[in-house]
Structure 1
Amino acid sequence: MFDTDRVSAVTFDSYSTLVDVESVERALADRVDEPRPVSRLWRSRSLEYTLVANHVDAYQPFYEMNRDALAYALDVHDVSVSEDERDDILATYHELDVFEDVRGSIERLHDAGYPCYVVSNGNPEMLDSMVEHAGIDDLLDGTVSADEVGRFKPDDELYRHAAERVDEPLEELVHVTALWLDVQGARHAGMQGVWLNRDDDPWEPFGPEPSLEVDSLTAFADELLG
């Protein structure tokens, strides 16, 4: 159960939470007959690579993980593109569509006195461009990248590092994310984990449940601010 009384600061995931990773389909559409399956395989493989990297000590910055995952997705779908074209597709991660409720919701939390941070697998350059593109740089107190610890979500080390950066106890942080594995990682580390379920999907049948489920960042701000 979500406890608003023990929230000192709010952390947000980035991709799929603040910005829409499915907007890469536009960049694929000029080169691929069916961009959606390529886009979804690209995203799922990228996440799988991060999970494997945590266990086989194969960390590399997320942008490079994403590059490898894109190459795989294109190969699977027998799409032949030049290296420059592949880099152009990859670069769309610097300008993904921003969900409409992002700035208004974070602004409400910021104005209410809650420090707000982004905690992401993205490397610092990716996060800098995302924050600038989303127009929320004036509302955030900082960004925390997996690159700072060389470990990806849902590894405990990243969440513990985030608490150190925020300078609040883990149990006083609430992490808001669209990714189920990120919810479970945050909860396992000791945070409250809020699942941003924009698509009305069912929750996973194993592991801890979210502290709170919402369908928008607006709904989360409503819940926290009362």
Structure 2
Amino acid sequence: MSLDPDAVEAVAFDSYGTIVDVTTVEEPLAEHVDSPELVSKIWRERSLNYAMVANHVGEYDSFYEYNRAALEYALDAAGAETTAEEREAILSTYDELDVFEDAPEGMERLHEAGYDLYVLSNGSPEMLDTLLDHAGIDEYVEDAISVAEVETFKPDAEVYRHAADRIGEPIEDVAFAAAGWWDVPGAVDAGMQGAWVNRSGTMWGPYEIEPDVPVESFHELADELDA
């Protein structure tokens, strides 16, 4: 598989882990646990697992609530004793996660090149409003599409199909860029062109589905589409 730049009319981006760095939570966690990096990973993985299991059992709650439950699990697993107020303070870090340096610059390049840009996220609408403002990308983004609109989480194919309908383009004319090794396969399976933003050298999953293009930054994605 390979990216077809001539077919791409719009680009949709994942948010958490792709535009903003979820490891930012390690700093507030360090005030309560001895291994903030490990607890951060447990928190992130647990929140994604909660969402994926919810898909399979036909349940839905906002990602913010699953993220809160996952934080409680991670802190409990680490043996941390925290108050409700302290947990809420840690959770609020998601409103001000560090922005990957290449994200705004790369999105600006794509916007100036004439692509319509969107954010497609498991995050709730409220979370995405905050993210767009904090990341400084609201002027480049046409709209933020939340899974709350269909009440199921990525990588369910329904999410990506709904996004293409909202964008107003045939699904094959939408490129989806994400860091998640579990997210890009969902988009490709649904019919989008998948760009895997692999900044940290993560291993791809054991799938027959492969990304249409692997990139290390939004700049590299802009180079690919400009080509």
Correspondences of 1:101-180 after superposition (within 5 Å)? 101-180=102-181
- Give me the TM-score of the superposition, normalised by structure 2: 0.98
User: Separation in 2 of the partners of 1:115 and 1:45?
Assistant: 33
Q: CA deviation at 1:38?
A: 0.7
Paired AA for residue 83 in structure 1: A
Paired AA for residue 33 in structure 1: D
Name the counterpart of 1:13: 14
Correspondences of 1:45-64 after superposition (within 5 Å)? 45-64=46-65
User: Separation in 2 of the partners of 1:200 and 1:210?
Assistant: 14
Q: CA deviation at 1:148?
A: 0.7
Structure 1 unaligned spans of 5+: none
The answer to whether the 8 Å contact 2:96/2:134 transfers is yes
The answer to whether the 8 Å contact 2:182/2:205 transfers is no
The answer to whether the 8 Å contact 2:15/2:119 transfers is yes
The answer to whether the 8 Å contact 1:118/1:144 transfers is yes
Name the counterpart of 1:82: 83
The answer to whether the 8 Å contact 2:108/2:140 transfers is yes
Paired AA for residue 122 in structure 2: N
The answer to whether the 8 Å contact 1:184/1:207 transfers is no
Q: CA deviation at 1:115?
A: 0.3
What SS is found at the alignment partner of 2:141? coil
Structure 2 unaligned spans of 5+: none
Q: Residues 198-217 of structure 1, C-alpha deviation per residue, up to 9 Å, x if partnerless? A: 01222222230100000111
User: Separation in 2 of the partners of 1:145 and 1:188?
Assistant: 19
The answer to whether the 8 Å contact 2:124/2:148 transfers is yes
Percent identical = 54
Across the aligned residues of Structure 1 and Structure 2, the Cα RMSD in angstroms comes to 0.7
User: Separation in 1 of the partners of 2:193 and 2:114?
Assistant: 18
Name the counterpart of 1:199: 200
User: Separation in 2 of the partners of 1:148 and 1:125?
Assistant: 13
After the TM superposition, which parts of structure 1 deviate over 3 Å for at least 4 consecutive aligned residues? none
Paired AA for residue 83 in structure 2: S
Q: Residues 60-90 of structure 1, C-alpha deviation per residue, up to 9 Å, x if partnerless? A: 0000000000011111111110001000000
The answer to whether the 8 Å contact 2:12/2:117 transfers is yes
What SS is found at the alignment partner of 1:125? helix
User: Separation in 1 of the partners of 2:204 and 2:163?
Assistant: 25
Name the counterpart of 1:190: 191
Between the two proteins, the alignment pairs up a number of residues equal to 226
**Structure 2 residue 189 is matched with structure 1 residue 209:** no
Q: Residues 96-142 of structure 1, C-alpha deviation per residue, up to 9 Å, x if partnerless? A: 00000111111111111100000000000111111100001111000
Q: CA deviation at 1:196?
A: 0.4
Q: CA deviation at 1:27?
A: 1.0
User: Separation in 1 of the partners of 2:133 and 2:202?
Assistant: 30
User: Separation in 1 of the partners of 2:132 and 2:31?
Assistant: 27
Name the counterpart of 1:25: 26
- Give me the TM-score of the superposition, normalised by structure 1: 0.98
